[in-house]
C-alpha cells in the first residue's frame, strides 16, 4: 500500500475572522469576515487604504488581540482557544514583529533589547545569540547604545534583529520603513528579505509602497475590513 504523506498544514488559516471593538465612540466593526490561508515560507504583501484594517489583522495574527468571531490557526495552534499564558508563549516562540515606530525599550541597550525577550523564554545563551543577531544586521559596534543614541535606521535594524533572534516561523512587519528615508528604508527592507530567505521564514508585510509589496510573491488587498483581492505575482 502506498504511503500518502499529507501536505503540511498552512502556517496561517483564518476563517470568517471578525474584529469589533467597543468604546466611547460606540462599536466599531473593523474586520468583517476575513478568510486567509498562508503557506509556510510565503511572503505576503498586505496593502489597502488607511483605516481598512491592516494593522488590526496583524494584531490578531500576532495573538496581541483576540478575534470577536471566526477561527484562527497559526503555527499549529488554535489562537482562539489559548489562555493569556499560552498566547504569550505562542508570541515568544513563533512570531517576530517589526513595527513602524521601532518599539524598542528606551532604558535598555541594543543588546538588552534583543537578548531580554530570549532570556525570558529560558535561553541560557540569550546574550551571545543577541550579539550574533546584532552583528548580522551590521550593528556589532553599537551593542551598548541605547535607542536614543541610535539613528532611526539603526533602531529599526535592532528591531529586525530582535524579531529574528528566536528564529520564529512567522515575521509580521507593519510599515517597517514608514519612519525612514528612502535609502535607509531600502537597506532595512533588504535585510528583512535576506534574513527571511536565509531562514525560510514566512513574512506578512504591511506597506503603502507598491514597490515594496511587489517584492512579495503574493499581495493581499484589504478594503473596509475585508480582503478585496488576493493576487499572486512573480517576485520582483
Ligand X SMILES: Nc1ncnc2c1ncn2[C@@H]1O[C@H](COP(=O)(O)OP(=O)(O)OP(=O)(O)O)[C@@H](O)[C@H]1O
- Quick note: the x/- pattern for ligand X over 54-93, rule CB under 6 A, is xxx-------------------------------------
Contact in structure between 44 and 15 (CB atoms under 8 Å) = no
Residues 6+ apart with CB under 8 A from 164: 96, 133, 171, 195, 199, 201
**Crossing angle of the two packed helices 126-136 and 110-120, in degrees rounded to 10:** 130
Pick from 30, 72, 97, 136 the residue near ligand X by CB under 6 A: 30
Q: CB of 158: closest distance to ligand X in angstroms?
A: 22
HSE toward the beta carbon, residue 180, CA cutoff 13 A: 25
Contacts of 152 (CB under 8 A, 6+ apart): 102, 179, 180, 184
Instruction: Give the residue with the Cβ less far from ligand X, 52 or 155.
Output: 52
Which positions from 33 through 72 interact with Mg ion, judged by CB under 5 A? 55
* Rounded distance between C-alpha atoms, residue 49 and residue 125, angstroms: 42
Judged by CB under 6 A, the stretch of 20-28, 69-77, 184-192, 194-202 that binds ligand X is 20-28
| Neighbour tally for 194: CB within 10 Å | 12
Q: Judged by CB, which is closer to ligand X: 54, or 157? A: 54
From CA 177, how far away is CA 188, in angstroms rounded? 7
> How far apart are CB 129 and ligand X at their closest, in Å?
32
Q: Which of 9, 15, 21, 86 binds ligand X (CB under 6 A)?
A: 21
- Which residue, 3 or 50, has its beta carbon nearer to Mg ion? 50
Q: How far apart are CA 197 and CA 191, in angstroms?
A: 10
- Grid cell at residue 80: 482562539
* Contact pattern for ligand X over residues 31 through 60, marking x by CB under 6 A: -----------------x-xxxxxxx----
Q: Judged by CB, which is closer to ligand X: 30, or 163?
A: 30
d(CA 208, CA 230): 16
- The number of angstroms, rounded, from the C-alpha of 139 to the middle of its chain's C-alpha atoms is 21
**Which of Mg ion, ligand X, none does 56 bind, CB closer than 5 to 8 A by kind?**
ligand X
- Least distance in angstroms from the C-beta of 56 to ligand X: 3
What is the size of the binding site for ligand X (CB under 6 A)? 12
Q: Confirm or reject binding of residue 155 to ligand X (CB under 6 A).
A: no
Residues at the site binding ligand X, with contacts judged by CB under 6 A: 21, 23, 28, 30, 48, 50-56
Residues at the site binding Mg ion, with contacts judged by CB under 5 A: 55
Amino acid at each position: 500500500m502506498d504511503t500518502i504523506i499529507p501536505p503540511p498544514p498552512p502556517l496561517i488559516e483564518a476563517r470568517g475572522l471578525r474584529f469589533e471593538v467597543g468604546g466611547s465612540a460606540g462599536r466599531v466593526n473593523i474586520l468583517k469576515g476575513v478568510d486567509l490561508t498562508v503557506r509556510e515560507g510565503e511572503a505576503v504583501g498586505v496593502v489597502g487604504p488607511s483605516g481598512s484594517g491592516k494593522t488590526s489583522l496583524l494584531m490578531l495574527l500576532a495573538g496581541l488581540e483576540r478575534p470577536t468571531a471566526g477561527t484562527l490557526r497559526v503555527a499549529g495552534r488554535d489562537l482562539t482557544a489559548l489562555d493569556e499564558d499560552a498566547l504569550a508563549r505562542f508570541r515568544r516562540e513563533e512570531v517576530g514583529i517589526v513595527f513602524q515606530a521601532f518599539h524598542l525599550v528606551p532604558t535598555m541597550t541594543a543588546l538588552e533589547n534583543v537578548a531580554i525577550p530570549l532570556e525570558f523564554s529560558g535561553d541560557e545563551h540569550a546574550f551571545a545569540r543577541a550579539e550574533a543577531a546584532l552583528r548580522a544586521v551590521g550593528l556589532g559596534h553599537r551593542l551598548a547604545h541605547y535607542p536614543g543614541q541610535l539613528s532611526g535606521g539603526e533602531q529599526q535594524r535592532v528591531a529586525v534583529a530582535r524579531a529574528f533572534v528566536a528564529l520564529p516561523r512567522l515575521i509580521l512587519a507593519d510599515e517597517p520603513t514608514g519612519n525612514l528615508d528612502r535609502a535607509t528604508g531600502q537597506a532595512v527592507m533588504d535585510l528583512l528579505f535576506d534574513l527571511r530567505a536565509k531562514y525560510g521564514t514566512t513574512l506578512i508585510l504591511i506597506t503603502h509602497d507598491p514597490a515594496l509589496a511587489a517584492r512579495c510573491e503574493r499581495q493581499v488587498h484589504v478594503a473596509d475590513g475585508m480582503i478585496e483581492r488576493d493576487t499572486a505575482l512573480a517576485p520582483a
